[in-house]
Structure 1
Amino acid sequence: MAKQRIEYIDTMRGFTMILVVFAHVCHFCLGDSRMGYNAVFILFRLPCFFMISGWLFESVAQRPFKEVAKHKAMVQLLPTFIFLLLLAPPPFFFHQLGTLKGGYWFTFALFEYFILYMLMIRISRNWTPLMAVVLTIGAFIYARYYDSLRSAADGYQLWLIDFSGFMSVTTWRLFLFFYLGTCIRRYFDVFIRWTNKPVVIGLITIVFFLIASTSHHDHLLFEMFRFYGGGITGMIMVFTFFRLSASWLKKLHISKPLQYVGTRTLDVYLLHFFFLPRFLMVYADQLAAYNCRLIEFCYIMAVSFVVLALTLTASYVIRLSPFLGHYLFGVKYDKAA
């Protein structure tokens, strides 16, 4: 029997997936990751994704370790390796196995989060919060000085740093959002009760936009505060918005399209790189010359919707084959069908 889906969760996932495509259009097609308000979106986009991943994973984390790890490897890692091979065949493939994995780092990092969380709760539930915070802060500091450490290292130490890059250690700075997602799932009634209070969610929203209005400063504590303060307030703000506005979004006929995207997040993530119009890079300066975030936003969003439409069409065609759907996207087909 198919799992009962939660509509506002899928709607939120769809929204954040569109922002992922938006960000990659900024970066890969226009060469500026801060265009069109993406500097604000970046504060909550990944925290939202990882929070929802933790929220959904909490219910299966206590299952047998080997069973969960094997299933997640088949769904997260195998498809990613296949698409990475298609995007960058050997010998280029082997140069894409660093921290960012040619853009496919998210699924690798998420798999590692699943493993880390299962190990933590099996060691000690009581110590899991401390382990999560120490791991996250340690990874944040390591990520900040990763490039300088790599340039200064040689021999055995360089091998260790390269291995940590393959293991996506620098992305573990986002693990805290995944862990908070598991906490929200465990204490969901308390979370709902507090975020139903207008004064609480209003204060959280104000804090988020105050943080988002600050500019970058090359200071460790400030960077850490902006990263985690913006991420936590942003993910709570977005999650609460979609939870409370579900009926309103339905009336505007926005909910269903976002839900569809939300049920195809892995497909979109793996496929959209092939449809990014990188030829737009030559027009980046012309767009920047307008010096208007709203124009940039509208232009980039229009391109993102075209990329998304092509990606979803390709996903639909691929899923027509049970073999390809299973091994490329981890789809479970009804054997009786």
Structure 2
Amino acid sequence: MNNISLSKYQSNKDNRLRYIDATRGFAIFLVVLGHVLNIGMNNYDENHFLHRLIYSFHMPLFFFLSGFVSYKPLEKWSFLFFIDYIKRKSVQLLLPTYLFFVTATVINSGDVLSCFYNTGVNKYWFGQALFQMLVVYGIISVLCNRFSSRLFIPLLFMACLTRCLCFFVDHEPIFYRVFVLRETFMNMYFFIFGLLVSKYKNIFAWIFCNERVRGIAIFTFIVCMIYIYQPYAYGLLVKLSDQFLLRVSGVIFVFSLFIKTGQYWNGNQFIARLSNFIGKRTFDIYLIHYFFIPDLSFVFPYLNCKQEIALEILLALSVSIVIMAFCLIVSFVLRSNRLTGLCILGIIKK
């Protein structure tokens, strides 16, 4: 335990942490799998076991990883650095988000302005939510750099408290929808959690590399999953289990598991190299995959029973793999040209 480090398996070629890319690859696969089950099979049920299992932690994991890789030392955060940073992130996140939202809406014969008014960017909310978190983080960092670094933790804690606002908003006003504030507030503390883990690597290395912590995390996850489905489950405890404990324990377990197997993800095995490659294309896949989700609603009635859950998973896994393959092909084609890469996917080549 004396030599543990979250940067132990950093690649010498591109200075990337390969287990981070592998974790992102795993997370985007869960995103595609969840959408195949819910959208493709027309099986959107928050109480469905597979839905709760996948959705309990896959997006929180994404925001946690985004926070982890986004951290920069406070001394870098001058006002000019902040302006340049936000310009780059607006191209990388907002440009493709709005482009794909408009394209998807037009293809589905929808009214773009009406859809935007009612749902914001709808299913493409991740890019905008992440951009807004980066803006908040940048503002906090600039203030801390200008006045005092001691403000960093208190200000981040105050940002985390935005999660509480979700409990008081039943009917979302227009600005709440347009700025996807519900999704931003619900995932803000995972983004900040990632920032803190990256800032205090030496402290958190002990936590994430500890077998007991990993055991407690998976035990908590299983207990919460079981408790939620019990008829005697109390409403407030169900919310605590579903909205907090499941998500936090899931993120801690998955992240610590990929750290534990970091040596494998840093190797040259096919699965390791494929996972690392997918991890570098997660936002591309997120944007593109909606166009390839087939209509499998005709299949779901035959799978709508507990005995067929294994077949449902097998079918969804197979379809998800094919969808991701198509997404990577489209991503490769778009990235092969500098202009299309920039205008469609927001790729800024150095």
TM-score, normalisation: structure 2: 0.83
The structure whose RCO (Cα within 8 Å, separation 6+) is larger is 1
Between the aligned partners of 2:322 and 2:235, the Cα distance in structure 1 is 39
Match of 1:332, SS state, is: coil
2:124 pairs with 1:104: yes
Between the aligned partners of 2:227 and 2:269, the Cα distance in structure 1 is 33
Distance 1:129 1:318, change over 3 A: closer
Partner residue of 2:214? 201
Distance 1:36 1:164, change over 3 A: closer
Partner residue of 1:141? 167
2:135 pairs with 1:115: yes
Residues 226-305 of structure 1 aligned to structure 2 (within 5 Å): 226-248=242-264, 250=267, 253-278=270-295, 280-289=296-305, 291-305=307-321
Shift of 1:297: 1.2
Partner residue of 1:323? 339
Partner residue of 1:14? 25
Distance 1:287 1:177, change over 3 A: same
Partner residue of 1:29? 40
Contact 1:99 1:105 in 2 (8 A): no
Contact 1:54 1:179 in 2 (8 A): yes
Distance 1:325 1:198, change over 3 A: same
Between the aligned partners of 2:153 and 2:303, the Cα distance in structure 1 is 52
| Equivalent residue letter for 2:343 | Y
Between the aligned partners of 2:277 and 2:317, the Cα distance in structure 1 is 18
Distance 1:205 1:295, change over 3 A: same
Between the aligned partners of 1:125 and 1:110, the Cα distance in structure 2 is 19
- Deviation string for 1:234-268 (max 9, x for gaps)? 11111111111133455763211111111101110
Contact 1:23 1:33 in 2 (8 A): no
- Deviation string for 1:58-105 (max 9, x for gaps)? 127753221111111110001111111211128522233244623101
CA-based RMSD of the aligned residues comes to: 2.3
| Equivalent residue letter for 1:132 | A
Of 109, 114, 122 in structure 2, the residue corresponding to residue 95 of structure 1 is: 114
Between the aligned partners of 1:23 and 1:85, the Cα distance in structure 2 is 23
Partner residue of 1:154? none
Of 87, 96, 103 in structure 2, the residue corresponding to residue 86 of structure 1 is: 103
Between the aligned partners of 1:261 and 1:126, the Cα distance in structure 2 is 33
Shift of 1:220: 4.6
Aligned residues: 317
Contact 1:33 1:39 in 2 (8 A): no
Partner residue of 1:168? 180
| Equivalent residue letter for 2:136 | L
Partner residue of 1:70? 87
- Deviation string for 1:288-329 (max 9, x for gaps)? 246333222111111111111111111111112110012222
Distance 1:293 1:39, change over 3 A: farther
Distance 1:207 1:28, change over 3 A: same
Of 35, 39, 57 in structure 1, the residue corresponding to residue 70 of structure 2 is: 57
Partner residue of 1:42? 55
| Equivalent residue letter for 1:194 | I
| Equivalent residue letter for 2:102 | L
Partner residue of 1:5? 16
Contact 2:208 2:255 in 1 (8 A): no
Between the aligned partners of 1:91 and 1:319, the Cα distance in structure 2 is 28
Distance 1:257 1:241, change over 3 A: same
Runs of 4+ in 1 over 6 A off after TM superposition: none
Distance 1:129 1:252, change over 3 A: same
2:157 pairs with 1:130: yes
| Equivalent residue letter for 1:275 | F
Runs of 5+ consecutive residues of structure 1 not aligned to the other structure = 151-160
Shift of 1:274: 0.8
| Equivalent residue letter for 1:93 | V
Between the aligned partners of 1:329 and 1:6, the Cα distance in structure 2 is 23
Between the aligned partners of 1:117 and 1:242, the Cα distance in structure 2 is 26
| Equivalent residue letter for 1:127 | P
Contact 2:67 2:194 in 1 (8 A): yes
Match of 2:299, SS state, is: helix
